[in-house]
Structure 1
Amino acid sequence: MITPEDVEFHPVENDSPIWAETNFFGFYNTEEHLNIGVYALFRPQLGVVHSTISMNDHDALEPWRANFFDHRAHLPIPEPQRLSDYSLLNGLHVTCTEPNMNWRIEYDDGAGTTIDVEYRALMQPFDIADPDMDPITAARAKEEDFAWGEAYNGHFDQTGHYTGEVSIRRRTIPIDCVSTMDHSWGPRAERGAPNMSWLHAHVDDNYAVHAIWSFDHTGETDELTLNHGYAMVDGHAYGLASGSGRTTRDKHLYAREVELQVTDSRGEAHELRGTGLTRFPWQAWPNMVGFNVLARWTVNGREGYGELQDFVETTHLAALADRGTTSSAV
C-alpha cells in the first residue's frame, strides 16, 4: 500500500550505489500528436540525477531529430533531498501539492522551451507489489523470492489529468489530456534489466487501461506476457488478473500495431487495439533504449490515446544485430 510518505526518498538498502528513485510524467496534445516526457532518475548514494525532457510529434528515428530533447546525466541532487519539491540545474522544477496525488511540473531551458502543467490524480496510486491491489502479484506471492526486476520492487502507477501548456522555442501548445505517471525505487543496475513494455490507453477521466508487459523482441512480431496493470473505471483501479497481447513492429523496432485482451479483478474484459503515430528513441538511462510511440487506441470500441514505451538494452540489440538473428535488428 502506498502511503503519503512514499512521495519522498526511500531508505537506500545496503548502501547500494546503484539504488535509484525515479519520477516520470508523460502527457501529450492529440491534435499535434505531440508527446512529452519528463523524467528524473536519482542516485542518492552518488548524489546525482539523470534527467531527460523530450518532446516529439513525428518520426524521429534519432534523438536529435525530435522537436526537443534535453538529456543530462550528472546533475547534482539539491539539498535537502526532497522528491516533493526539487529544482534541477537543467531548469526542471517539480512540486507535489498533495502527496502522491497532485503535482506541478515546470521547466525552462532558458532558450524558449518551457513546460507549465499541473497533474491531478484520477485514482489512488496503484501499488504493483500489493497483493490486495494486484491479482498477478497475489498469485505469484507463493513463488519463492519472486521479484519482477529489482528496480520495481517499489513502484506505483497512476492515471491523472494534465492541464497547462508547453512551448517549443516560443511556439506554445496547450495541454489537456488524461495520461499516466509513475514512481519507482530500488536497485537499478545499468545492465541486465528485462525487456519491458510500459503502456497505457486513456478514453476520458473515467476510463483508462494501463499495463506492464514482458516480451522477447527478437522479431517483427512480439507475443506479450502480462506482468501488472489495471483498468481505471470511474475513479477506481481494478487490477488486471490476466491478459494476452501482440505487438507488430516496423523494421526500426517501433510498435506499429498492438492488440491486447485483458481481464480485470471483477472479471470484466477490455479489448484494445493501438496504432503508432510517432517514433522516438528515448535514452532513459545508460545502456537502454525506450522505443517510444504515441498511439491512437480503441478500447472496447471507444477512441483513446496513450503512450507505448518498449524498453530494450543496447547490449541485447547489439547482440541480435551481430548474430543476424532478426531481420528487424538494423
Structure 2
Amino acid sequence: MITDADADFHEPTSDGQTWAETNFFGCYVPGATPDAAPINIGVYALFRPNAGVVISTVHINSRFVDQPWQGDFWDAQHHLAIPEPRNLRDYTLANGLSVKTIEPNRVWDVAYSNGRNVDLHFRYTALMPAYDISDPAQDPITAAQQADTSFAWGAAYKGHFDQTGRFEGELTLRGQKHAIDCVSTMDHSWGLRDEHQGHNMTWLHAHFSKDFAIHGIFDLDHSAGPDTPTEGAVTHGYVLDHGEVYGIRAGRNRVIRQGFYAKALEIEVEDVRGKTHHLTGFGRTSFPWQAGPGTVGYNVLAEWRRRDDADARGWGEIQEFVGPQFLTDLYSARAAAAASAAVDGAH
C-alpha cells in the first residue's frame, strides 16, 4: 500500500551504488488535425542517493526517428548532483528541471527550461490512488503469485507504483507554443536498479478520457530480432473505469514491429470483474529513449482504438525496454552467422 511517506526518499536497503529512486512524467499533445503530428513528451529523474548523483532526461518528439538527436529535443545528463538538503518532494536540478509535490502522490508541479529554446511546465493531478504492483490487495496477479508457495519475492515486485492522471500546462518549443491538456500515466520506483537492463519488458498505457484508461506491463521477448512480431503475457496492470480501479488478472499483447518499434499492437486483458478489454494501437511517433546508459527504451506514442466503442480514440505510450548487452549479443550472433554463410558460399 502506498502512503504519503512514499513521496519522500526511501531509506536504502543497501549501501550499494545502484540503489535508485525514480520519477517519470510522460504526457503528449495530440495532433490538432488528423494530418498534424502529435508530440510526445517525457521527463525523467533517476536518483542514486548512495552515489550522490542524478540521471535526468527530457525528450520531446513528433516524428519517427532511430537516433535521439533526430527528435525534436533531447537532453540527457547523467552526473547531476543531488541538491542538498535532499528533498524528493521539492527539488531543482542543474539541468533546469524542477519538481514540486503539492499533494503527496497526487499533485505535482513540473517545470523544465534549457535556458534557450525549450520551456515546459505542467501540473499533474491524479485521477486514482497510486497503484502498488506489489500489493496483493490491489494487484490480482501479485495476489496469485503470493499464494503460490514456490513464488519468491524479487526486486521487480517491490517499490513501484503507476498512476493515471491529468496533465495541464504548456510547452514552448523553439518559439512555438503548445497547450498540454491530456490524460496520461506517471510512475515512481525505488530499490536496487542495476546499470544494465536485466530483463526485457513492455510498459504501456491507453487513455480515452478521464473516465477510461488502461495501463499494463507485459513480458517481452526480442530474441528473434528486429521486424519480428512478438507476444507477451501481462504481468501487472489496471483498468480505470469512471473513477474506479480494477486490477488486471490475465491477458496478452501481440505486436507488429518495424525494427524493434511497435508499429501496431493489440492487447486483450481481463480485469477482476471478469470484463475483457480489446484495444488496438498504432504507432504515431518513435524515439529510442535511453533512460540510462545501460538500457534502451523503444518508445512509441500510439493512437488507440477500442473494440467495444468504434468511435473512441485514445492516446498513450508504448515503452519497450531492452538491454544494450542483449542487443550486442543478438547482432554479433547475426554477423557471425552471415560471415559463416559467406564462407560456405565461397566454397
Which category describes the TM-score, using the shorter chain as reference length? Answer: over 0.9
CA contact (8 A) 1:7 1:84 kept: yes
Q: Assess if the C-alpha contact under 8 Å between 1:152 and 1:185 holds in 2.
A: no
Aligned to 1:309: 319
**Residue 15 of structure 1: SS of its match in structure 2?**
coil
2:342 is matched with which residue?
A: none
Q: 1:165-203 CA deviation, whole Å, 9 max, x = no partner? A: 111122211111000000000100012521010000000
1:171 aligned onto 2:171: no
Checking the alignment, whether the CA contact within 8 Å between 2:40 and 2:60 is kept in structure 1 is: yes
Please name the residue that 1:3 is paired with.
3
1:1-330 equivalences in 2 (<5 Å): 1-31=1-31, 32-141=37-146, 142-144=148-150, 146-147=152-153, 150=155, 153-219=158-224, 220-250=228-258, 252-299=259-306, 300-301=308-309, 302-324=312-334
Determine the C-alpha separation between the residues in 2 that align with 1:56 and 1:151: 29
Gaps of 5+ in 1: none
1:245 positional shift: 1.4
**1:112 Cα deviation (Å)?**
2.0
Matches of 1:127 and 1:7, distance apart in 2: 13
One-letter amino acid of the structure 2 residue matched with residue 54 of structure 1: H
**Higher mean Cα deviation, 159-168 or 296-305?**
296-305
For residues 148-173 of structure 1, give each alpha carbon's deviation from its aligned partner in whole angstroms, at most 9, with x where no partner exists. Answer: 6x255200000000011111122211
CA distance in 2, matches of 1:197, 1:124: 22
CA distance 1:106–1:58, shift in 2 (3 Å): same
Question: What is the one-letter code of the residue matched to 1:20?
Answer: A
**Structure index of larger Rg:** 2
How far apart are residue 67 of structure 1 and its match? 0.2
Q: Which amino acid aligns with 2:24?
A: F
Structure 1 residue 225: deviation in Å?
Answer: 1.4
Report the alpha carbon displacement of residue 144 of structure 1 after superposing the two structures with TM. 4.1
Please provide the CA RMSD for this pair.
1.4
TM-superposed CA distance for 1:16, in Å, is 2.2
Deviation at 1:147, TM superposition (A): 3.9
Separation in structure 2 between the aligned mates of residue 25 and residue 151 of structure 1, nearest angstrom: 20
Q: Is contact 2:170-2:179 (8 Å) kept?
A: yes
Per-residue deviation at 1:218? 2.2
Contact 1:78 1:86 in 2 (8 A): yes
Conserved? CA contact 1:151–1:185, under 8 Å:
no
Equivalent pairs, count: 324
Residue by residue, what CA displacement relative to the aligned partner does 1:238-274 show, whole Å, maximum 9, x if unpaired?
A: 1000001111111x21000111100011111111110
Q: 1:174 to 1:152 in 2, by over 3 A?
A: farther
The normalised TM-score by structure 2 is 0.91
